[in-house]
Amino acid sequence: MKLKLNVTLFIIMFNIIPIPAFQDNYIWLIENGSHAVVVDPGDATPVIAELKKRSLALSDILITHHHTDHIGGVDALIREYSPQVYAPAKESYEFKHTPVLEGQIINITPLNLSLQVIDVGGHTIGHVAYYGAESIFCGDTLFGGGCGRLFEGTPEQMFASLQKIVNLPTETAIYCAHEYTERNLQFAKTLENNNPALNARILMSHELRIAGLPTIPSSIALELATNPFLRCTSQEIKDNLGLKIADSIEVFTKLRQLRNQF
């Protein structure tokens, strides 16, 4: 289903900075030189350090879902900066926040930034993404070369959520919350070894990691060309799964089962 965008989304010059946390998390910091927004701050310590280093005031926090590695730093950041916090309306949170639903527009005045909320349930029932300025902050829904595990939702829900994302403009930058790309691409190669775009991406991702750089952001165009969870109609993938005439939901379900074990 194609998502209907009902607003013109506009942003001034800004930087999007990955803040590594834990073993493989990224907390995304969006800043314009004076103010900042953070997405999914699972740990406050590196966020506060980055804000102080750059002399930034934290105006807002965006939460995609309720898992601890995405919200663990919120209370400390509220105490330190008193930001406005946005979080999914379909989930429960103990900290003060503004609940958000699909289609809602969040206006972050200090950054002149507007973001549209997209319901992307699957990883969790209430999971949301934030879209604007040719970027999407999608938490644990779409990863580089993969997608999130289904802790609460169904394959049908996750598949539908991914379709919402990939129907956005193909140049949209994807800011997910984990550095899983290399492992995901290793899995993809077992299914579609003859995909030249995939093989090129494997090399590129490895070079980035060797250099100590993130493989994120990617783009919708790159994911459509290389991510098996978005390529459920690929005959090579179907053949390797033994599902020659299966529909996309069957293929997606099998892919998720196999990736869980990979």
Whether 4 has a pLDDT exceeding 60, the answer reads no
Higher pLDDT, 235 or 14: 235
Whether 14 has a pLDDT exceeding 90, the answer reads no
94 CB-near residues (< 8 Å, 6+ apart): none
pLDDT in tens, 185-194: 999 999 999 9
Which residue shows structure tokens 């004076």? 34
**Span 81-90, average pLDDT:** 98
pLDDT in tens, 210-252: 999 999 999 999 999 999 999 999 999 999 999 988 899 999 9
**Span 197-216, average pLDDT:** 98
DSSP the chain: -PPPP-S-----S-EEEEEEETTTEEEEEEE-SSEEEEE--S-HHHHHHHHHHTT-EEEEEE-----HHHHTTHHHHHHHH--EEEEETTS--SS--EEE-TT-EEEEGGGTEEEEEEE-TTSSTT-EEEEETTEEEEETSEETTEE---SSS-HHHHHHHHHHHHTS-TT-EEEESB--HHHHHHHHHTT-TT-HHHHHHHHHHHHHHHTT-----EEHHHHHHH-GGG-TT-HHHHHHHT-TT--HHHHHHHHHHHHHH-
Cα–Cα distance between 185 and 182 in angstroms, integer?
Answer: 5
Fold of 15-180+214-222: Metallo-beta-lactamase; Chain A (3.60.15)
- The predicted pLDDT at position 240 comes to 96
Contact of 238 with 194, CB cutoff 8 Å: no
∠ CA 118-105-36 to the nearest 5 degrees? 95
Contact of 77 with 108, CB cutoff 8 Å: no
Cα–Cα distance between 244 and 56 in angstroms, integer?
Answer: 54
Closest CA relative to residue 177, chosen from 34, 52, 39: 39
- The predicted pLDDT at position 216 comes to 98
pLDDT confidence tier of residue 1, bands split at 50, 70 and 90: very low
Whether 151 has a pLDDT exceeding 70, the answer reads yes
State the binding site for Zn(2+).
65, 67, 69-70, 123, 140, 178
pLDDT confidence tier of residue 133, bands split at 50, 70 and 90: confident
Cα–Cα distance between 262 and 260 in angstroms, integer?
Answer: 6
pLDDT in tens, 17-52: 999 999 999 999 999 999 999 999 999 999 999 999
- The predicted pLDDT at position 84 comes to 98
- The predicted pLDDT at position 13 comes to 75
Contact of 128 with 117, CB cutoff 8 Å: yes
- Domains of the chain: which residue ranges? 15-180+214-222
pLDDT confidence tier of residue 66, bands split at 50, 70 and 90: very high
Whether 6 has a pLDDT exceeding 60, the answer reads no
pLDDT confidence tier of residue 5, bands split at 50, 70 and 90: very low
26 CB-near residues (< 8 Å, 6+ apart): 18, 19, 20, 175, 176, 177, 178, 179, 214, 216
State the binding site.
65, 67, 69-70, 123, 140, 178
